Structure 1
Amino acid sequence: MAASHVSISFLILTLTLISITAVSAKISAVIVFGDSSVDSGNNNVISTLLKSNFKPYGRDFFGGKPTGRFSNGRIPPDFISEAYGLRPFVPAYLDSTYNISDFATGVCFASAGTGYDNATSDVLSVIPLWKEIEYYKEYQQKLRVHLGDRKANQIISDALYLISIGTNDFLENYYLLPKRRSEYDEDQYQDFLVGIAHEFVKTLYKLGARKISVGGLPPMGCLPLERTTAVLRGEGDGCIESYNKVAMSFNSKLGGLVSNLKKELSGVQMVFSNPYFIVMQMVKKPSIYGFETVSVACCSTGLFEMSYLCDELNPFTCSDANKFIFWDSFHPTDKTNRIITDHLLKRVLNKIS
């Protein structure tokens, strides 16, 4: 009886932790900018090696469809959209199966592999952040034609704007290639990126955005790919703490930017959505959330595979992704994304009305 009671209690705790909090704020649409953490399929239609529109990606998405999301299921904007009573996923702007009527309640301009720094998007030939803004301007024009100026402007001002970007600037650019390291030390590069973030948010504001979430970095030194790299360098199999320190430092600077912009931009509602500590808690205490595996991912060996290295021909992919924090060597599982999102809804996004 005692063992049964413990099992039932643990199940209830787990279900509570992964449920999504419904939010009653007036949000007309969810509009997304950023990288693979929030890309719902824009990379499908551009010439890049960084794609995920094939199985086993998406095997736990609606209909088991590989949409181009770097997950076995949904990503945070999908859960956020659902929490606000909108559709349970946010479509990609470049996905031709959707049109402006679909995008009126949510649209994603993000591109996997991109960064604040234009040089980051060049690494894997993906959509730079400035181009995401150009697509957004195009979207506004289409929305006004579709709904008229008054209704379109209302959607634009009442939408929640999600920005999630920055990890690639460090892991795929600064630490990997010599150019930026020759120009900036780590602290200077962070300031360089924050300066771009500042101008990006101001541009969104000038285009009508009033409800904005700026996302921070996860503990990027704990990603399976980085842990594998550390092992190959003979540095042990733990998280790369120097990378995590940079993530925390950059998050602190982004938090300061948000505070300053709230004073600078009249009528704006802005929050800093920091995933660092909830992800680190999962990494340190996985069993609390029902996870069994931390250091490797579900797909293939889980050590270094993502994109085309994680495909349905590989026989090693796990049978139950809910036991894993990471789906591929760089990206969280559907369950992890759900937990992160619920945490941010309860702690941060609920401040936006």
Structure 2
Amino acid sequence: MKGNNIVHHITSSSSKLFWFVLFLVLFLNTNTNALVKLPPNKTIPAIIVFGDSIVDAGNNDDIMTTLARCNYPPYGIDFDGGVPTGRFSNGKVSTDIIAEEYGIKPSIPAYRDPNLKPEDLLTGVTFASGGGGYVPFTAQLSGGISYSQQLKLFEEYIEKLKEMVGEERTKFIIENSLFMVVFGSNDITNTYFGLPSVQRKYDVGSFTTLMADNARSFAQKLHEYGARRIQVFSAPPLGCVPSQRTIAGGLTRTCVARFNDATKLYNAKLYANLDSLSRTLRDKAIIYIDIYDSLLDIILNPQEYGFKVVDKGCCGTGLIEVAVLCNKFTAEVCPKRDDYVFWDSFHPTEKTYRVMVAKYFKRYFNKTF
């Protein structure tokens, strides 16, 4: 028995040494190609993502009970090889581009991807799920993976890291990785404004408070896991996305003021909660990321960024097609995707994400370190 234990110890130690060497190789080979140069003595070994369809990369692909999936054409038409992966865009999403800019890897894979390679765990994954939100009922409504379930998957991820590289290296990865949290859109559009029963129970003030309080709890939980670079993203100008213009914008399909007002109210509470949490923890590790103004500026001034169409998606009529309604059988695709701010009626094109990522680096790079 003692001999078997010794063999197991040697085998286990050799395995961890292998993964440690692989980690160093991956780190040295990727960061040297970074377009964005890190400050001296700073590193980002991985990007770890939580959220909804904006940063999903296919976690919902095998969940047959949800319509919040897009692992079919024409989604992914401009992704590597034109293969639909479960990303709600024509190509890469924002977190892919951020990983690319940092030189970590070309894209962030879905944690639940059956083809996920073990080495991908070392450089980051996304736990995001289309239809997710800060309010538990939001994910139940969509059939996606809730924010609490995403945290459970993250706990599983940590244990896998420990098996691969040991406790000390896992702690290093968690402490130095960039955590990105992108929820909120579905809570406002689908749950609050989509369900009269929710509006009878909450006014917009109490509902946005619930969202912001849950966001604070989520960030605090990540901090308890050891994360020290946590970026929590605001909600975008939801009243201006094509589907909401179609549903509630009247005959002229203008931006829906009450949707944008609710979003701004939530964003203000989110900012205040994260600022309060940072002060309580005495740690500046938690950063609020504004994407409301970033996207609204593109929508209001499209010509400055080379866009021509802001009120319709590229897929089909552009008025309502998203997820299952945007497919190769029922929807044609615009030939000039870079003319459009939105890919489908809810999600931006890769070009829009690239413009927004450039704004993100300009505004938040120094705060990250």
Q: TM-score, normalised by structure 2?
A: 0.87
Q: Given the superposition, is the C-alpha separation of residues 315 and 184 from structure 1 closer, same or farther in structure 2, using an over 3 Å criterion?
A: closer
Distance 1:315 1:181 in 2: 33
Structure 2 gap ranges (5+): 1-33
The corresponding residue for 1:294 is 310
Describe the shift of the 1:341–1:21 C-alpha distance in structure 2 as closer, same or farther (beyond 3 A).
farther
1:198 aligns with 2:212: no
SS at match of 1:147: helix
Residue 329 (structure 2) pairs with residue 313 (structure 1): yes
Aligned counterpart, 2:63: 46
Correspondence 1:173-192 to 2 at 5 A: 173-192=191-210
Match of 2:99 among 45, 67, 81: 81
What code does the residue aligned with 1:241 have? A
Residue 114, structure 1, aligned to residue 132, structure 2: yes
**Which of 241, 246, 269 matches 2:285?**
269
The correspondence for 1:22, drawn from 36, 41, 45, is 36
Measured after TM superposition, the shift of residue 285 of structure 1 is 1.1
Q: Deviations over 1:69-106 (max 9, x none)?
A: 00000111101111222001001000011133212101
Deviation at 1:334, TM superposition (A): 0.3
Paired residues in the alignment total: 332
Q: Secondary structure at the match of 2:60?
A: helix
Residue 266 of structure 1: CA displacement? 3.9
Letter in 1 for 2:304: I
Distance 1:343 1:297 in 2: 22
For 1:179 and 1:251, how far apart are their aligned partners in 2? 23
CA contact (8 A) 1:35 1:111 kept: yes
Q: Name the amino acid aligned to 2:105.
A: R
Partner of 1:9: none
User: Counterparts of 2:156 and 2:361 in 1: how far apart (Å)?
Assistant: 29
Q: Counterpart of 1:254 in structure 2: which amino acid?
A: L
Q: Which residue of 2 aligns with 1:10?
A: none
Moved more, 265-274 or 323-332: 265-274
Q: Distance in 1 between matches of 2:358 and 2:331?
A: 33
Question: Which residue, out of 98, 102, 113, partners 2:116?
Answer: 98
Q: 309-318 or 77-86: which moved more?
A: 309-318
* Alignment counterpart, residue 245 of structure 1, candidates 253, 261, 274: 261
- Counterpart position of 1:328: 344
Aligned twin of 1:210? 228
Give the stretch that moved more between structures: 135-144 or 246-255.
246-255
SS for the counterpart of 2:76 is: coil
**Inter-partner Cα distance in structure 1 for 2:60 and 2:316:** 22
* Whole-Å separation in 1 of the counterparts to 2:336 and 2:330: 15
Classify the secondary structure of the residue corresponding to 1:259: helix
**How has the CA–CA distance of structure 1 residues 254 and 315 changed in structure 2, closer, same or farther, with 3 Å as cutoff?**
closer
Length-normalised TM-score, structure 1: 0.91
Distance 1:95 1:26 in 2: 26
- Which of 276, 281, 286 does residue 260 from structure 1 map onto? 276
Q: Distance in 2 between matches of 1:139 and 1:222?
A: 36
Which residue matches 2:16?
Answer: none
**RMSD between aligned residues:** 1.4
* Residue of structure 2 equivalent to 1:128: 146
Taking the aligned partners of 1:23 and 1:265, their CA distance within structure 2 comes to: 29
